[in-house]
Structure 1
Amino acid sequence: MSSIIVPTYIEAKELADWILDPNMKARKDYIIIDVRDDDYPFGNICHCKNIPSIKFLDNIEHYVLKCKRIPKIVFHCAMSQVRGPKCANRYALTLNSLLEAGEIEDIDQKVYILRGGFMNFQNIYKTNPNLVENLIEDYWLNPY
């Protein structure tokens, strides 16, 4: 069995570089899981998959099995303080359990949490339509 998979943080710039790299394909080389719910319609990172945290946590084994062949998986929420890290940690725990039980073969996957979440990412890259889409800027000036 491979070593235990533990989520680590990824900076906005590194994720932006992946998205802009023509040799990296979203949902093949990496996947971005946006676990926001009510605030998702106010903007998102390009190529992300929105799965609200409650739905994700209720079906975690399904998502582990579905994403197991993607080498890099990035989780985020609005600020990546609660929902994003919780989903990343539960994903890693479930993946490790399935590997240990022999229910899935040895894989090479890294699990990340986007530091600062969508708020930080859109603050840096909101003017780049290849990185941020559907942005309603007024919402993010005072979202909570």
Structure 2
Amino acid sequence: MTKAMLPSNMNSLKYMKAEDLYKCIKNNHKTVYNLKAYSLYDATSTIDIEKDEPIYVIDVRGSDFIGGHIKGCINIPYKDLRTMNTETGNYDNIDDFINKYLKDKTNVNVLFHCAMSQQRGPSAALLISRLLQEPKYKDFIEKSNVNIMVLYKGFINWQQEYGNDSEVTEDYNKYIWG
């Protein structure tokens, strides 16, 4: 895996294509060989991802989660993700996610998406990335390699391509999305 740099703004986000995620899910939520994440703004900027690294798909849709989702995804609505605990100043939902899925792992890939991956998905990816750059996660980031990515064109594109494939899409309702 290319040593990833955590994105710090929208232009530095990397995107994964639906067809690549499809292959990863078919590979038991592990990356497939020769996988790359791409920048929308710099064609020469990619992340090389090695084979068989875990990939976590984070669906940040809220009420629009109904009618189908990517198999094995973790649904954390964006409004819940960005809620700060006013007493502690922490983002408890993000801390819980990091501690449950990322801590004590190396070479981890996290893919965010919403309906179209234009606002909530990229914003969630940046929020997590920025929090991972805080001092409390310094040791974790130094020993781990975490790729933060966004699903290109989001769930709307995904369901058009793979909505009817029950091996990769769960609870799909074509009448909602069709």
Give TM-score scaled by structure 2 length.
0.69
Are the equivalent residues in 1 in contact too, given 2:61–2:115 (CA < 8 A)? yes
Write the distance in 2 (CA, Å) between the matches of 1:3 and 1:74.
14
Indicate the SS of the match to 1:33. Answer: strand
Deviations along 1:94-139, one digit per CA (max 9) or x if unpaired, are: 112247x635352111111001111100100122111111111111
Deviations along 1:20-60, one digit per CA (max 9) or x if unpaired, are: 015839xx811100000111121000000111111112232
Write the distance in 1 (CA, Å) between the matches of 2:20 and 2:97.
24
Indicate the SS of the match to 2:133. Answer: helix
* Shift in alpha-carbon separation, 1:92–1:11, aligned structure 2, 3 A: same
Q: Which amino acid aligns with 1:63?
A: F
Q: 1:110 aligns with which of 143, 147, 160?
A: 147
CA RMSD of aligned residues (A): 2.3
Write the distance in 2 (CA, Å) between the matches of 1:64 and 1:114.
19
Write the distance in 2 (CA, Å) between the matches of 1:128 and 1:50.
20
**1:9-48 residue pairs with structure 2 within 5 A?**
9-22=15-28, 24=30, 29-48=54-73
1:65 partnered with 2:118: no
Alignment gaps of 5+ in structure 2: 8-12, 32-52, 84-92
Moved over 6 A (4+): none
Of stretches 10-19 and 102-111 in structure 1, the one that deviates more from structure 2 is: 102-111
Alignment gaps of 5+ in structure 1: none
Are the equivalent residues in 2 in contact too, given 1:98–1:104 (CA < 8 A)? no
Q: Which amino acid aligns with 1:102?
A: K
Give TM-score scaled by structure 1 length.
0.84
- Name which structure has the greater RCO, CA cutoff 8 Å, separation 6+: 1
Identity of matched residues, %: 28
Are the equivalent residues in 1 in contact too, given 2:71–2:168 (CA < 8 A)? yes
Aligned to 1:123: 160
Indicate the SS of the match to 1:39. Answer: helix
Q: Which amino acid aligns with 2:140?
A: I
Aligned to 2:127: 90
